[in-house]
Structure formats: structure tokens, C-alpha cells
């Protein structure tokens, strides 16, 4: 081994400090985006507007509106399907908004 020992490393303290600052900034931005998304609501209809579901960015069902016309005592399965469809579509919209917001960070496997 040469005199002075191994001189490898990460390229110096300034570079490492800059990486830490960038990571902290990214973490702050991610937190802000997440908080903003959680405040949003996402609405979806099914059955031609017979059922409307509203979910929050926290993936919680906030509102479910069912038209009287959608209630058929002889066919409860149809109403169930419309409810499931509206809720799933609203959740999909919330997920899509989250993915679009987070995609700007370009971190593979994050979202």
C-alpha cells in the first residue's frame, strides 16, 4: 500500500452535504404533495349518474349518493354493482392523481 493509505471515498464533504440537502428538500416536497392530495376529493358516477361516490385522498369514502330511481327491490345486485363501480372508480382517480403528482420525482419503484 502506498504512503498515506486509501484515499477513496464519496468525493468530499461538500458533495455529501449537497446530497443530504437535496434529499431533505425532496422529502419536504413529498410531504407537501401528500398533504395536498389528502385534502382533495375524487368523484365518480355509475349507472348513468344513479350512484355517485366521493372519496378523499386518504382513500376514505366521504359521500355516497344513490338516486331513488336506482333502488329496485327486485334487483339489489344491480345497485350493489353500481356502488362498487362508483367507489372503485373514485379510488382509481385518487390513485391516478397521486401517481401523477409523485411521478415528477422519477424514483423507480416509489409509486
Q: What's the whole-number mean pLDDT along residues 29-55?
A: 93
7 within domain boundaries = no
4 within domain boundaries = no
95 within domain boundaries = yes
Average pLDDT of the chain?
86
Number of residues assigned to the chain: 111
25 within domain boundaries = yes
Q: For position 29, which CATH number holds? A: 3.30.1310.10
Q: What is the pLDDT of residues 51-67, one digit of tens each?
A: 999 999 999 999 999 99
Domain that holds residue 92: 13-105
6 within domain boundaries = no
3 within domain boundaries = no
Q: What's the whole-number mean pLDDT along residues 79-84?
A: 97
Which residue did the predictor score with more confidence, 6 or 61? 61
Which residue did the predictor score with more confidence, 12 or 26? 26
Place of cell 500500500: 1
Split into its structural domains, the chain has a count of 1
pTM: 0.71
Which cell goes with 27? 422529502
Between helices 13-39 and 76-102, what is the axis angle to 10°?
150
Amino acid at each position: 500500500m502506498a504512503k498515506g493509505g486509501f484515499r477513496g471515498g464519496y468525493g468530499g464533504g461538500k458533495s455529501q452535504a449537497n446530497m443530504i440537502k437535496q434529499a431533505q428538500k425532496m422529502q419536504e416536497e413529498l410531504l407537501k404533495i401528500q398533504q395536498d392530495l389528502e385534502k382533495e376529493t375524487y368523484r365518480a358516477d355509475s349507472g348513468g349518474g344513479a350512484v355517485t361516490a366521493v372519496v378523499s385522498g386518504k382513500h376514505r369514502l366521504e359521500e355516497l349518493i344513490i338516486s331513488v330511481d336506482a333502488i329496485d327491490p327486485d334487483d339489489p345486485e344491480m345497485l350493489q354493482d353500481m356502488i362498487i363501480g362508483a367507489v372503485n372508480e373514485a379510488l382509481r382517480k385518487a390513485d391516478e392523481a397521486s401517481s401523477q403528482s409523485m411521478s415528477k420525482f422519477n424514483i423507480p419503484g416509489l409509486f
